[in-house]
Amino acid sequence: MDYISTRGRAPELPFDEVVLTGLAADGGLYVPRRYPTVDHKEIAAFAGRPYAETAETLIAPFTEGLPRDLLHQAARGAYATFSHAAVAPLTQIGDNLFVLELFHGPTLAFKDLAMQLLGRLMDALLETRGLRATIVGATSGDTGAAAIEAFRGRANVDVFILYPDGRVSDVQRRQMTTVADANVHAIALDGSFDDAQTLLKGLFRDESFRRGVGLAGVNSINWARVVAQMVYYFTSAVTLGSPHRKISFAVPTGNFGDVLAGYVAKRMGLPVERLIVATNENDILARALATGRYEPRGVTPTQSPSMDIQLSSNFERLLFDAIGRDSGSVVQAFEALDRDGAFEIPPGALRAVREDFDALAVNEAETQAEIARTYRDSGYVIDPHTATGVRAARAQLEKSPGTPVVALSTAHPAKFPDAIERAIGLRIEPPPRLAPVLEGKERIARMKRDSETVKRFILEHARAARVGAGA
Ligand SMILES: *Cc1c(COP(=O)(O)O)cnc(C)c1O
């Protein structure tokens, strides 16, 4: 299975290269040449299987060229770090309304599901090549923690995480800054997540820097993350009777990686009725679906910081498909975005997107009200990100009460205790897993949002730069 860039000007690469590369050299994102499919009999056979086994089966066709044993070991190791036997269990909170708990991993957010696998795949791939890599990631909060947890102490990798100073929760920040391993570096940048992501994309476009440090990416622009996230759409749907009935999913969305994974599951053959994009007040996706105009505005900080994003990178992958995989049109759209600050989604592509997706923007007051309502109705505490998904799921159930809706719970409420306390007047007890994070000493490198400053810091600290090797 070869991978092609959405912008059509980067070399085609096999899976292992795509994993190590992240962003394509032409600024595009890698996508598989075609989507492998599973039939209904194969889907039905996932019932009752361990999560790691289903993951391996579903991911294998995307990883042609990768030794199967490597994938097998990585999947087993990754999902053994979860504190729930089901890895991603479902909880029912209303008629046909389910919450998919994706927060049982080491950092209590859904990012672990992909990152634990990616960390193992990357380290093993580097080991077999005798290479070192430098991972630089931008985070709106949870990706950084998950990446640091997945890569800390690994022999072949140094990790640098850029986060927007003052715009992540205390728990999120401490998860990144209290890790003592020498290969971990948390960098606080002034500005928003979008600023950090733009700076990161610039690093990837700097060919000599990229080579010099063996730059590798772990943001959801890395295809391996999308493909790992596709798995829980299957496992949850099968629990609810798939493939014999359709399921809808409501997904708290920022960078569009998670909900894109739902789309990939559907393209692979999972019977999905609707994919509902839930946003907070940073509603570019809801506006784009409603009007056809993709137009970022300034980022508004909210109580769901991991969704405080206006430039949803992975939307490019959906656009590429919706536009008939015409990379020329994708390039034009993103040139217009750079030039004019917006682009129009071509009418045919917009129709195609609407065939699979709905979107709902949930404001701050509605988010608080949803946390309170869910607690009142079912005694179940949801975090503010999850609340946007549950709210969107309820709206979908009003339209289509006969189809089960799964709201993805992307973070444990203990990561956002202040927002929970405001909504229901209860202080959430931190789970034991958080103790070292809440007590540890913080280590932070504060920096201006200037790519030369960031590059210098990375060059000084990356082991790959010293030996001059690169991936
Ligand atoms: C990352 C994140 C999201 C958004 O996911 P995307 O894949 O970026 O759309 C939502 N909720 C939480 C808690 C997150 O960490």
The mean per-residue pLDDT over the stretch 405-434 comes to: 94
60: which residues sit within 8 A by CB, 6+ positions away?
A: 68, 71
**Lowest-confidence range among 17-26, 153-162, 240-249, 337-346?**
17-26
pLDDT of residue 470: 41
Please indicate whether residue 111 is annotated as part of the active site: yes
**Residue 309 CA, ligand 1 centroid: distance in Å:** 10
At 4 the pLDDT is 97
- 415 CA closest ligand 1 atom index: 13
Sheet holding 30-32, edge to edge: 13-14, 2-5, 30-32
3-state secondary structure of 372: helix
pLDDT at 199: 94
Round the average pLDDT of the chain to a whole number and report it: 94
Q: Give the tens place of pLDDT for each residue, 424-462.
A: 999 998 888 888 899 999 999 999 999 999 999 999 999
Ligand 1: centre distance to CA 296 (Å) = 18
Whether the pLDDT of residue 75 is over 90: the answer is yes
**Distance from Cα 353 to the centre of ligand 1, integer Å:** 20
In ligand 1, the atom with minimum distance to the C-alpha of 141 is 15
Q: How would residue 471 be classed by pLDDT, with cut points 50, 70 and 90?
A: very low
Q: Which of 22-26, 69-73, 334-338 has the lowest mean pLDDT?
A: 22-26
Q: Measured between alpha carbons, how far is 81 from 101 in angstroms, rounded to an integer?
A: 15
pLDDT digits (tens, 9 = 90+) for 20-30: 887 788 989 99
- Across residues 246-257, what is the average pLDDT? 96
Distance 129 CA to ligand 1 centre (A): 32
**pLDDT value at residue 312:** 87
Nearest to 160 by CA among 140, 136, 178, 141: 136
* CA–CA gap between residue 140 and residue 306 (Å, rounded): 5
Is residue 173's pLDDT more than 90? Answer: yes
- DSSP codes joined into one string, 206-226: -HHHHHHHTEE--STTSHHHH
Q: Cα–chain-centroid distance for residue 114?
A: 8
- CA gap 39, 62 in Å, rounded: 16
Ligand 1 atom closest to 257 (CA):
7
pLDDT range class, residue 130, cuts 50, 70, 90: very high
Give the pLDDT of residue 412: 96
Please state the separation of Cα 70 from the chain's center in Å: 23
Cα–Cα distance list, 213 to 216, 453, 464 (Å)? 9, 15, 5
Q: What's the rounded Cα separation, in Å, for the pair 372 and 381?
A: 8
Ligand 1: residues within 6 Å at CB? 109, 111, 142, 220, 252-258, 306-307, 385, 410-411
For the segment 140-165, the average pLDDT, to the nearest whole number, is 92
The best mutation among 163, 279, 306, 318 to test binding of ligand 1, ranked by most ligand atoms within 8 Å of the C-beta, falls on: 306
CA distances 41 to 235, 241, 358, Å, are: 14, 13, 29
pLDDT at 140: 80
Looking at the domain covering 90-107+225-424, what would its CATH class be?
Answer: alpha beta
- For residue 466, name the pLDDT band (cuts at 50, 70, 90): low
Residue 205 pLDDT level (bands cut at 50, 70, 90): confident
Cα–Cα distance measured from residue 291 to residue 470, given in angstroms and rounded to the nearest whole number: 44
Q: Among residues 41, 111, 399, 455, which one is catalytic? A: 111
Element (H, E) at 359: strand 357-361
- What number of other Cβ atoms are within 10 A of residue 400's Cβ? 14
Tokens of 50: 């361990």
- What's the pTM? 0.94
Rounded Cα gap, residues 50 and 81, in angstroms:
14
